[in-house]
Amino acid sequence: MRYWRAEIGRLLIDYFEQDNRRIEHAFRVLHHADRLMVDYPGCDEEIVIAAALLHDIGIKLSETELGYQDGATQEEYGPAVAGELLAAIEFPAEKTEIVKNIIGNHHSPSRYDYPELELLKAADLIVNRDEKV
Ligand SMILES: [Fe+2]
């Protein structure tokens, strides 16, 4: 059995290094995604975990390459980074494709009918609302 929360959480922490705000944001989103999963029938738990922890992973490369980041550039840069990180731990390839699609669509109108995408958007919304206070 694999401990995906721990393994992907470790990838996230290693990748974001000292950027604790982003690391904590991802764990908060995972917490709410775990909690709300019961309301989104048909979700694959492994996809939910990977998408929640890595949904904003494109921020760092966007900032390095462009000097800024926003929803659109997160969607642009995130999928490839997530794909590389997940390949390194042999996360199931067919699930990685879905995780990448979710990351590439989490700030724009849904182009996929994945329940995991709607769940991630709901969890991210809750956390973003909390963090604005
Ligand atoms: Fe987020």
pLDDT of residue 133: 59
Ligand 1 centre distance from Cα of residue 42 (Å): 22
Q: How far is the CA of 49 from the centre of ligand 1 (A)?
A: 13
Q: Enter the tokens of residue 75.
A: 């969607």
Q: What is the pLDDT of residue 46?
A: 98
Q: What is the pLDDT of residue 132?
A: 79
Q: What is the pLDDT along the chain (133 residues), one digit of tens a residue?
A: 899 999 999 999 999 999 999 999 999 999 999 999 999 999 999 999 999 999 999 999 999 999 999 999 999 999 999 999 999 999 999 999 999 999 999 999 999 999 999 999 999 999 999 987 5
Rounded to the nearest whole angstrom, what is the distance from the C-alpha of residue 117 to the centroid of ligand 1? 12
Query: Do residues 48 and 75 touch, judged by C-beta distance below 8 A?
Result: no
- What domains are there in the chain, each with its CATH number? 4-132 (1.10.3210.10)
> Which amino acid would we find at residue 88?
A
CB-CB neighbours of 35 under 10 Å: 11
pTM for the full model?
0.96
